[in-house]
Structure 1
């Protein structure tokens, strides 16, 4: 057996940190990685297993723009990878402002400040490992990463801090194949606005007033469509994560039906089986989201 073959055999025997059932894989294929090709989905699952990141708990994401796939995590995803490593020995980080006294030393940082700190200059992070003499150091300049998005405007200190921490953790533990949302300064813009998801043609006619043709429609048909919309809104509410799961499923249906990607589809255009499947998926994610919020609080 060659040396290369031995390496492959060892890697194959590596214990997976997370596993998925066939049903869970199919759910992920329709929702979290709804835009992924077959090969892209395999890579997404490989990285999730390799780093022990759970897509159901929003620890790893699939994002695609202009045909270019990106597999993403967050600062917390990198921190989870680090926490699991036996050599991880801590993280030190802070935001630097223009009036701070800041000097980097070989073994760390000398950072002092008072109350009148001025504007944000950037942030730094140091990741310590038990098997290394010096920490991994990263400084993230604010003007290189700031984004004109709502979250960056509201929480500039927290966001630039996450950038430095993400980069330092990634470098300290040689994480490859992943990029964090904070590093990219990306805000995902969905193809859909939940409040603007088009109703079916039947529902639209009802809103505009009945014509002679409309009067021939059965009342239970209109009621059924309305119940669908109310049922989905009741599950999703204002939860942005659940909204994104809904949009991902609709994109999945569009691909299956061969509908042009520029066109939108309605909840009401789903078949009965598809609608029941959508409700089941959203209810599952809703329970997970509730559990996450409980743990955070």
Structure 2
């Protein structure tokens, strides 16, 4: 690994705003979980954010690591879909759910079914202007639902969205091939769960009740302070700000 790349600051533009990242900034402000990330994992996260123009300070990407598991680089579904839809060849989509209705497997458009239907999975079709046929993907519910609260309360909506993400990646592999959402990660931690982990870490360090995750404006205020500061020295875990 190139240590110079890991330590130097990288500045890139996202939606007209400059984002400054370095190994020290990422380790100090942008890592969640209970295990320490390696320089290589930090560098991979930095390069992905730069290449895909993701702003991790606005929760467009997460770097998460728990003991016994490799670090996971997770992209928010909103950021993923915005970049897919911005592709010049993107020409719309159709998506829905797959159900078992009286022993027959049926593809339904949207995210609504009859009460007697058994949910089996989701499907999506992505249309490109430069291709005659759409990219079609069908996925199984059992491969993606890990029993999280969101999947229990909104299984139809979740499996439909996950099918869309998978189809978009197949339709635009050059743009989205290295990006994965929380449902596709190897860990069981989803975006809402990550925010809970951050809250618990802050509460433990501050010896206080769990507080709310800061708003985007509060996060950007902290980010701007970081940009205007010189490169930080060795990391002092006790000095992490509330949004660490």
- Structure with greater proportional strand content: 2
Note if 1:55 corresponds to 2:44. Answer: no
Aligned to 2:162: 163
SS at match of 1:71: strand
Q: Distance in 2 between matches of 1:101 and 1:150?
A: 26
Say whether 1:197 aligns with 2:204: yes
Structure 2 partner of 1:91: 93
Instruction: String of CA shifts for 1:112-166, please: whole Å, max 9, x gaps.
Output: x874551211110111111111111111111222212222111111221122111
- Assess if the C-alpha contact under 8 Å between 1:82 and 1:173 holds in 2: yes
Change (3 A) 1:180 1:124: same
- Distance (Å, rounded) in 2 between the aligned partners of 1:37 and 1:194: 20
**Any idea what SS the aligned residue of 1:197 has?**
helix
Q: How many Å separate the matches in 2 of 1:195 and 1:50?
A: 30
> How far 1:176 sits from its partner (Å)?
2.7
2:211 corresponds to 1:237:
yes
Q: How does 1:142-181 map to 2 (within 5 A)?
A: 142-174=141-173, 175-181=176-182
Q: Which residue number corresponds to residue 5 of structure 1?
A: none
Q: Structure 2 CA distance, aligned partners of 1:136 and 1:17? A: 31
In the alignment, structure 1 segments of 5+ residues that lack a partner are 1-15, 104-108, 199-227, 246-254, 258-264, 286-297
1:102/1:110 contact within 8 Å kept:
no
Q: Distance in 1 between matches of 2:100 and 2:69?
A: 40
Quote the Cα distance in structure 1 between the aligned partners of 2:64 and 2:113: 41
User: Cα RMSD between the aligned structures?
Assistant: 3.8
> What is the Cα deviation at residue 78 of structure 1?
2.0
Which runs of 5 or more residues in structure 2 are unaligned?
A: 1-11, 220-233
SS at match of 1:68: coil
| Contact 1:52/1:81 (8 A) holds in 2 | no
More RCO (CA 8 Å, sep 6+) = 2
In 1, the alpha carbon distance for the partners of 2:203 and 2:77 equals 32
CA separation of 1:43/1:241 partners in 2, compared to 1, >3 Å: closer, same or farther?
farther
Q: Aligned residue for 1:79? A: 81
In structure 1, the residue matched to 2:227 is: none
- Structure of larger gyration radius: 1
Asked if the contact 2:97–2:109 (Cα under 8 Å) also holds between the matched residues in 1, the reply is no
Distance 2:156 2:170 in 1: 22
3-state SS of the aligned residue for 1:20? Answer: strand
Size of the aligned set, in residue pairs, is 200
Residues 192-231 of structure 1 aligned to structure 2 (within 5 Å)? 193=200, 197=204
Give me the TM-score of the superposition, normalised by structure 1: 0.55
1:102 aligned onto 2:106:
yes
Alpha-carbon separation, structure 1, partners of 2:13 and 2:203:
40
Q: 1:278 to 1:192 in 2, by over 3 A?
A: closer
Q: 1:165 to 1:278 in 2, by over 3 A?
A: same
Alpha-carbon contact 1:63-1:69 (below 8 Å) kept: yes
